[in-house]
């Protein structure tokens, strides 16, 4: 079908909206609108306009549904990543606590101090975890160190 140029004026707000929508084929929209308007023998102009508005609302609702699904997928992905990260951190904690079987359960012991920082625990928390894991007595004052015996 051949095309013939026509000149129309539009309201200022519509012209601004059209200038912001680079992907919109305004000629196609006008053609569709006019075809629907001219073909509607028993519909009023208001009915045609309302029908077009309803179509646009439906498109927006479809876009919203698509975006909500995308959001849900991203939230799920974020939660899976956070969960894996927490599992990895817990595994690191468990490994260090398990490897402390020969270490005194004292927050002042150098091994406890060094490894507590690696797994984001305080030395007291790590010493207590070692004591709990290996059935040791928690020694908050490092009394098992033979260099600190009183006279």
What is the pTM for the complete model shown? 0.50
**In the prediction, which pLDDT does 82 show?**
97
**In the prediction, which pLDDT does 42 show?**
61
C-alpha span between 64 and 71 (Å, rounded): 10
pLDDT of the chain along its 151 residues, tens only? 788 888 878 889 888 888 888 888 888 888 888 777 676 666 677 887 888 899 999 999 999 999 999 999 999 999 999 999 999 999 999 999 999 999 999 999 999 999 999 999 999 999 999 999 998 888 776 554 444 444 3
Three-class DSSP category at 137: coil
C-alpha span between 106 and 123 (Å, rounded): 8
**In the prediction, which pLDDT does 54 show?**
95
Q: Hey, what's the torsion of the CAs at 41, 47, 50, 51, to 10 degrees?
A: -40
């Amino acid at each position: 079908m051949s095309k013939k140029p026509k000149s129309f004026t539009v309201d200022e707000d519509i012209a601004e909206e059209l200038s912001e929508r680079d992907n919109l084929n305004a000629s196609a929209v006008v053609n569709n609108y006019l075809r629907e308007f001219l073909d509607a023998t028993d519909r009023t102009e208001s009915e045609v306009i309302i029908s077009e508005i309803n179509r646009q609302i439906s498109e927006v609702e479809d876009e919203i549904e698509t975006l909500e699904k995308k959001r849900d997928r991203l939230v799920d992905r974020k939660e899976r990543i956070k969960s894996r990260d927490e599992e990895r951190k817990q595994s690191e904690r468990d490994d260090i606590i398990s490897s402390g079987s020969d270490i005194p359960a004292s927050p002042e012991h150098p091994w406890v101090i060094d490894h507590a920082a690696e797994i984001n625990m305080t030395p007291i928390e790590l010493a207590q975890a070692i004591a709990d894991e290996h059935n040791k007595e928690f020694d908050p004052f490092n009394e098992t160190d033979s260099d600190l015996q009183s006279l």
